[in-house]
Structure 1
C-alpha cells in the first residue's frame, strides 16, 4: 500500500512539473496586437518544441516568438526576448495580398509569415521577412480574465 501511495504521489508530481513546463502565463506589453490584446493583458501560452510547430500552429493562431532583433516587436513578460504576433501564413501557403515585396508567391518551407493586429504599431514580417519556424516558442491558448 505504501508503495502505491508513493507511485501515485510521484506520478502527480511529474504531471505538475510537465504542466509547468508546457504552460506559461505571460503579460502583454505594447500595442501591436490591439484591439485583441492590450498592454497589461495576461495570456496562457502552450510552449512548443520546434518539431511541433507544423502540427500545432495554424494561420490565425497567435504565437509567441523569440525576439527577432534589438528593440523590435511586442514585449511580453516584463521585457523578455519574446514577441507576440498572429500567423498570417505557414510554409506552402500563398503570401497574402499586399506583401508581394517579400519576393515569394508562397511561404518557403520551414518558414512562416506573422503580422501584428495593429499594423500601424507593429514590427513584423513586413519588416523581418519570413521567420524560421524554430522561432516559435509557443501558441497562445487564451487571454486570461483580470
Structure 2
C-alpha cells in the first residue's frame, strides 16, 4: 500500500514532458523528454525553464488543457516550454519584443511572468503575447531524461 501511495504522490508532483518544436533549441530539441516538478509561481527563479498552458486566442476565454495522463504531457497538446526571464517584481524587459514594449507596468505584476523561448526565430512567446498568468503554470523543468 505504501508503494501505491508513493507512486500517486510522485505523479502529482512530477510530470514527464515531451518537447515538440524548435522554440527551445539549442537547450532542448524535438523529442527530448524532461522531468517537470509542479511548482507555483512563487517557487520559480529567473532562468528556470517553465511549462505552462498555451495562451488562448483573445476571442476565447482562458482555458487550461486537461492532462490525459497526470504523469505525461506532450507540448503539442496545448502546453509550452519557455525560459522565465522576468518574475513578479522584476523590471519588464521591454526591449525583448513588441508586446512587452507597450505594457504600462514598470515591473512584472503579481501573478504573472515573462517567458521567452531560447530560439527567437522559432518561438511564439511573451514577446508576442505579453505576460503568462500564474494559473496557466504547470511547473519548472528539473532535468532532461
- Do the two structures share a fold, i.e. TM-score over 0.5? yes
Aligned residue number for residue 59 of structure 1: 46
Aligned residue number for residue 128 of structure 1: 129
The answer for unaligned runs of 5 or more in structure 1 is 1-9, 71-75
Aligned residue number for residue 56 of structure 2: 69
Following the alignment from structure 1 to structure 2, what is the Cα–Cα distance between the partners of residues 128 and 97? 13
Of 31, 38, 49, which aligns to 1:47?
Answer: 38
Is the contact made by 2:75 and 2:81 (CA closer than 8 Å) also made in structure 1?
Answer: no
Aligned residue number for residue 17 of structure 1: 8
Following the alignment from structure 2 to structure 1, what is the Cα–Cα distance between the partners of residues 31 and 7? 27
Runs of 4+ in 1 over 6 A off after TM superposition: none
SS in 2 for 1:98: helix
User: Alpha-carbon deviations, 1:16-65, whole Å to 9, x = none?
Assistant: 111122212111110110000010111111123xxx321x2111000000
SS in 2 for 1:88: strand
**Residue 102 of structure 1: CA displacement?**
2.9
Following the alignment from structure 1 to structure 2, what is the Cα–Cα distance between the partners of residues 135 and 78? 14
Aligned residue number for residue 5 of structure 1: none
Aligned residue number for residue 90 of structure 1: 87
Q: CA RMSD in A?
A: 1.6
Aligned residue number for residue 142 of structure 2: 141
The answer for unaligned runs of 5 or more in structure 2 is 58-72
Aligned residue number for residue 66 of structure 2: none
Following the alignment from structure 2 to structure 1, what is the Cα–Cα distance between the partners of residues 47 and 30? 20
